[in-house]
Amino acid sequence: MRTILITGPGGSGRTTVAAATALAAAREGTRTLLLSADRTDTPGAALGSATGPAPAEAAPNLTTWRPDAVARFREDLTAFQERAANVLDLLGAARLDAEEVTPLPGAEELSFLRALRDAALSERFDLLVVDLPPLPQALALLALPEELRRYLRRLLPAERQAARALRPVLGRLAGVPMPADWLYETAARWDVELAAVEAVLTDRNTAVRLVADPGPAGADAVRTAGLGLALRRLSTESLIANRVLPEATGDSWLSSLLAQQRKTLADWQEQPYDVHPVPHLGRDPRGGDDLTALGVPTVDPAPAPAEWPVSDRIAEDGVLVWHIPLPGAIRDELDLIRRGDELVITAGTFRRLVPLPSALRRCTVSGAALREGELRIRFTPDPALWPAGGR
């Protein structure tokens, strides 16, 4: 399945663009699902057909779905209480009724990620268009599966389950309670679910479309978003310059705004994005005709994946070079730390622990440079781990 993730600053029209993208694909005969994280029915207002907590057909070949995070959280908590019934009874804990459950911080994001996973694994559709929350919530959401899996692996390593039979003995010897089986089973189940979401986000058929108004605020948002997405190795397929005003003639009060818009569009053309201007209709788009008039870009069946290649320069310079595209990165805001078989990369306000490719694990970091929006890290083979004449 092809997956398109659409996001942008709040008020940029990302939901309308997502609806237009899904409708255009459906009209070409592609079985399309529009999945929205919008709490209000903005997608339905744009399409002229209400969206709700269950998938429903909005037009031929187009299904819409706006999951109910509260209901899903209630279901998850009820299931957890049933699985942990013995432990809760032992502690004398009172169980929560479904009616008194309200979502905890982060519950809505996890619920939406599970819905995204379910939608991507469905065989009913050929295209999944995801209307993500505004920036920066979308960047945090996209980072969540990888980060949670890392925390789970550190706090409850899977290899410790091998000592399951010894835990009662170890508990008596150490004098402290050992984690129960249900805790490991819960962690393992979450790891599987998060891995499935991560697989969807990092799939070569998944790409991001950024939506922003061409102006100073939009330019700042695109710069920040592009850097955060690149560090997550998510491919930014295109940049939708939304609500582009028509060129005015004579002395118009729009002159300064148009000049600002032209400058931003010219700057964006220099960036590594495929820029698509979308016209301002003079009103909020409503219904299929308005969405078609926006002229959003068609869906490329084969997007270009985000590549982090390693070039072999051992013969020339005695190093391997890892190329990591980071558009918008600033040299003074970059930081690198080698941590075992991982590299901790900090770029502005973003940080990620990146596993090293296998060949680079046998090397030492010998330098780094930022050139033309690309971080180039040099690795020197460690003679103790890199046999002479071998690779």
How would you write the chain as a 3-class SS string? CEEEEEECCCCCCHHHHHHHHHHHHHHCCCCEEEEECCCCCHHHHHHCCCCCCCCEEEECCEEEECCCHHHHHHHHHHHHHHHCHHHHHHHCCCCCCHHHCCCCCCHHHHHHHHHHHHHHHCCCCCEEEEECCCCCHHHHHHHHHHHHHHHHHHHCCHHHHHHHHHHHHHHHHHCCCCCCHHHHHHHHHHHHHHHHHHHHHHCCCEEEEEEECCCHHHHHHHHHHHHHHHHCCCCEEEEEEEEECCCCCCCCCCHHHHHHHHHHHHHHHCCCCCEEEEECCCCCCCHHHHHHHCCCCCCCCCCCCCCCCEEEEHHHHCEEEEEEECCCCCHHHEEEEEECCEEEEEECCEEEEEECCHHHHHEEEEEEEEECCEEEEEEEECCCCCCCCCC
Token pair, residue 148, equals 């949670």
Are the CB atoms for 249 and 9 separated by under 8 Å?
Answer: no
Given a cut of 50, whether residue 114 has pLDDT beyond it is: yes
Q: What are phi and psi of 296, to 5 degrees?
A: -65, 155
CB neighbours of 189 closer than 8 A, spacing ≥ 6? none
* pLDDT given for residue 385 in this prediction: 72
Q: Which residues contact 26 (CB under 8 A, 6 or more apart)?
A: 32, 59, 60, 61, 62
Asked if pLDDT for residue 92 goes beyond 50, the answer is yes
CB count in 10 Å sphere of residue 358 = 8
pLDDT in tens, 215-251: 999 999 999 999 999 999 998 999 999 999 988 756 6
Note the pLDDT of residue 170.
44
pLDDT band at 145 (very low <50, low <70, confident <90, very high): very high
pLDDT at 105 over 80: no
Residue found under tokens 């270009």? 304
Is the pLDDT score of 345 beyond 60?
yes
pLDDT above 70 for 181: no
Residue 185 banded pLDDT, cuts 50, 70, 90: confident
Q: Which of the four pLDDT bands, split at 50, 70 and 90, describes residue 154? A: confident
Q: Which residues have a Cβ under 8 Å from the Cβ of 56 and sit 6 or more positions away?
A: 63, 64, 65
Hey, what domains does the chain have and what are their CATH numbers? Answer: 2-68+105-293 (3.40.50.300), 310-381 (2.60.40.790)
pLDDT at 21 > cutoff 70: yes
Cα separation, 312 vs 359, whole angstroms: 10
Give the confidence band of 173 by pLDDT, cuts at 50, 70, 90.
very low
pLDDT tens figures, 284-334: 999 999 999 999 999 988 788 889 999 999 999 999 999 999 999 999 999
The C-alpha atoms of residue 143 and residue 301 are separated, in whole angstroms, by 25
Instruction: Kindly state the average pLDDT of the residues 87-105.
Output: 65
Mean pLDDT of the chain: 87
